[in-house]
Structure 1
Amino acid sequence: MGKNDIAVKQWLSAKDRFADLFNMLIFGGSTVVHPQDLEDMEGEADIFVPDKAGGESGIKRYRDIVKRWGNTATFAVMAVENQDKIHYAMPVRNMIYDGLAYTSQMNQIWEQRSENREKMSDAEFLSRFRKGDHLHPVITAVLYYGTKPWDASLDIHGMLRLDDSSGKFRRIKEYIPNYRINLIDAERLERTELFRTDLQQIFGMLKYRGRKRELIRYINQHKDYFSNLDQETYRAARVFLNSEKQLKDIAGDEKEAIDMCKALEELYEEGMEKGMEKGIEKGEERLNQLIKRLLADSREEEISKVVGDREYRQRLYHDFQL
């Protein structure tokens, strides 16, 4: 996992933000998932899946963020997959992740039944799952924070070529189970004001990335928040803005607040200064080229006029196509 992935993962792993994200995804912003009801789960697991020959195949899975919602008896598994780039196979990838999560639950239930297996029916023993057993739901959100609009399929059916003139494949489609991903396209969210945490400010900020003046205006409109960021949020904001190299990596006390308003203004001013310096250098280069051309054409008397008369200089620039 790269440095940028870790920054976003750590920031979103905070229980209040995680709950806020799923409240928006599932409940339209209503507070149903509470931070105190969330429990961290391992995002990496090794799973052994039985095969027909009686052996087992090992599968390793990695999930970005996984939490348990609810108590030990009744709960749901909630997971987030962070994406900074479009993934055209995301429905298949997530289907595998969720399927393995259910397999993991079945394995745990089977292990808990080790002392009572002799009381199972043949069908239950073969299934490694009793008739009265139940799985806990698994809900995966795909948080996409890339700059390009998501143009990949949102479900398995969208990845299949099943439409034809005869209509036979459209009929087949009815018998193919579908799997849909829960996509959150952060930059293009319309109701960011429904978030209860700073997801509101950070996701709202993404609408202006790449447009420095508008971004600075937005940041200053929310100055109370952006002038007092913690290190974790600042790191994530740099990743979201694709500004890991431009915005300074401020190291120091983790408790020290960071003024992002000031950091962006300094970045903007630095860019303006560099632009002006570049413009001056280019202007001087063109002027030197013009003077050389005048000297080569034995037009020394015009050199003083070129230096002092801007309109005449621009006319010569055009004539000489400099």
Structure 2
Amino acid sequence: MGKKDISEKSLEELNDVFADIVNVLLFDGKKVILPDDLVESNPHSNYTSNGKIREQERDVSKYWNNSRIRLAAIGIENETEEEDDMPLRVISYDGAAYRAQFSPKNNNRRYPVVSLVLYYGYKNRWKKSKTLHKSLDIPEELKKFVPDYKMNLFEIAYLKDEQVKLFKSDFKLVADYFVQMRKTGKYVPPTDRIIHVQEMLSLMSALTNDNRFVDIYDEVKGKERVNMCTVLDEIEEKGIEKGMEKGIEKGREEGRIEILYSLVHDGVIDAKEAAKRAGKSVKAFNAGLKKTYG
């Protein structure tokens, strides 16, 4: 994804969301990790390249304290595109976390490190390397001497419906969005309340590369109950306002329909929902959509 903005990490950094993600993906929804058991971890580590010390940063990292494992470091990496070197990147993060345990300040504690790679691509499955062996060009004679390393990859858009239902935090809405887009290419918003509105909109904006999610935050932040229906209504309304500000001389109703066409074309909403909002039959709406976008 290239350089990541801080806002992209803000939702997953929240302890309730972080614990929810790990509990569902690693423990089938069992409440193994509690939000209060999580402690902030420094996501930064260093490595040497061309004689210079450089810094690397994983997306989100936490320490987990419990009675069985005194201290465990769990990190999350977000990806919207496949990356050949992802196993190398993950092993470098994990290696740095293990190297840090050599410090006398660590009081001889030794703890496991677990990294989760969350892949949000919905048009194609992850086909790039998932293991260290697949990332390297290893002569056959040496392969048995090179330890393999498999990253924990989770393709969010390909989660089963039963898995999505296990999420209890706002991440359920994120997963549901990408699963729907993978299945139909369209999105029908649920009515579940968004708890962390700003963080949720920031993550959706970063993952979809659609600034409209963050542009409408001021319009929804004061509302008593915000859900994805509210968000899409505000996106639609803001689009109309922007169109009018640019001097598009169309009636309000015509402008609204144009925005609905745009939302369906971009995959933000499905044609059935858009037709309902436009007061048209699905057949008539799709005819106008085809005329507009071909």
- TM-score bracket, normalised by the shorter chain, equals 0.5 to 0.7
Report the Cα distance in structure 1 between the residues aligned to 2:54 and 2:212, rounded to whole angstroms: 37
Secondary structure at 1:209's aligned position in 2? helix
Shift in Å, 1:70: 0.5
Distance 1:213 1:90 in 2: 27
Runs of 4+ in 1 over 6 A off after TM superposition: 1-4, 210-213
Decide which of 141, 147, 168 is 1:177's aligned counterpart: 147
Aligned pair in 2 of structure 1 residues 275, 38: CA closer, same or farther (>3 Å)? closer
Structure 1 position 66 matched with structure 2 position 61: yes
Report the 3-state secondary structure (helix = DSSP H, G, I; strand = E; otherwise coil) of the residue aligned with 2:115.
Answer: strand
Q: Which amino acid aligns with 2:176?
A: G
AA aligned opposite 1:145: Y
1:114-165 deviation line (CA, Å, top 9, x unaligned): xxxxxxxxxxxxxxxxxxx552111111112234421111101122345xxx
Unmatched 5+ stretches in structure 1: 49-55, 114-132, 163-167, 278-322
Cα pair 2:120 2:207 within 8 Å, conserved: yes
Deviates more, 1:64-73 or 1:146-155: 64-73
Contact 1:68 1:75 in 2 (8 A): yes
- Corresponding position of 1:145: 120
State the AA in 1 paired with 2:95. Answer: G
Q: Is the Cα contact below 8 Å between 2:126 and 2:155 reproduced in 1?
A: yes
Letter in 1 for 2:55: K
In 2, Cα distance between the equivalents of 1:231 and 1:62? 23
1:260 paired residue number:
228
Q: Which has the larger radius of gyration?
A: 1
Q: Following the alignment from structure 2 to structure 1, what is the Cα–Cα distance between the partners of residues 72 and 137?
A: 34
Gap runs ≥5 in structure 2: 240-252, 263-294
- Assess, with a 3 A threshold, how the Cα gap between structure 1 residues 34 and 58 changes in structure 2: closer, same or farther: same
Change over 3 Å in CA distance of 1:255–1:6 after alignment to 2: farther
Alignment partners' CA distance in 1, 2:151 and 2:8:
20
- For residues 189-219 of structure 1, the C-alpha deviation after alignment (integer angstroms, 9 at most, x for no partner) is 1121122323223201112338999413xx1
What corresponds to 2:15 in structure 1? 15
* Equivalenced residues, count: 238
1:156 counterpart (125, 132, 141): 132
Contact 1:209 1:215 in 2 (8 A): yes
CA deviation after TM superposition for structure 1 residue 249, in Å: 3.5
Shift of 1:247: 7.1
* Secondary structure of residue in 2 paired with 1:223: coil
Question: Is the 8 Å Cα contact of residues 231 and 258 (structure 1) preserved in structure 2?
Answer: no
Partners of 1:254 and 1:39 lie apart in 2 by 28
**Counterpart for residue 75 of structure 2:** 79
TM-score, with length taken from structure 1? 0.62
Aligned pairs (5 A) from 1:285-296: none
Query: Contact 1:47–1:59 (CA<8 Å) still a contact in 2?
Result: yes
For the residue of structure 2 that corresponds to 1:74, the secondary structure is coil
CA 207–234 in structure 1, closer or farther in 2 if over 3 Å, else same = same
Offset of 1:105 from its aligned partner? 1.5
Counterpart amino acid of residue 260 in structure 1: M
Shift of 1:173: 2.5
C-alpha distance after superposition, 1:72-104 (max 9, x if no partner): 981101111122221110001111111111111
* Letter aligned with residue 114 of structure 2: I
Amino acid in the other structure paired with 2:127:
D
Letter of the 2:72 partner, please give it. Answer: A
Structure 1 residue 112 displacement after superposition: 6.5
Equivalent residues of 2:19, 2:35 under 8 A apart: yes
Displacement of 1:9 after TM fit?
A: 0.4
Instruction: Pick closer, same or farther for the CA change 1:274–1:250 going to 2, 3 Å.
Output: closer
- AA matched with 1:27: F
Q: Work out whether residues 202 and 213 of structure 2, in 8 Å CA contact, stay in contact via their aligned partners in 1.
A: no
Picking from 217, 223, 243, the partner of 1:250 is 217
Equivalent position of 1:223 in the other structure: 191
- Counterparts in 2 of 1:77 and 1:4: CA distance versus 1, 3 Å: closer
1:198-256 CA-partner distances (Å, limit 9, x unpaired) = 3223201112338999413xx1xx21426x76222122223334422477442378565
SS of the residue aligned with 1:80? strand
Shift of 1:41: 1.2
The CA deviation at 1:34 is 1.0
1:38 counterpart residue number: 38
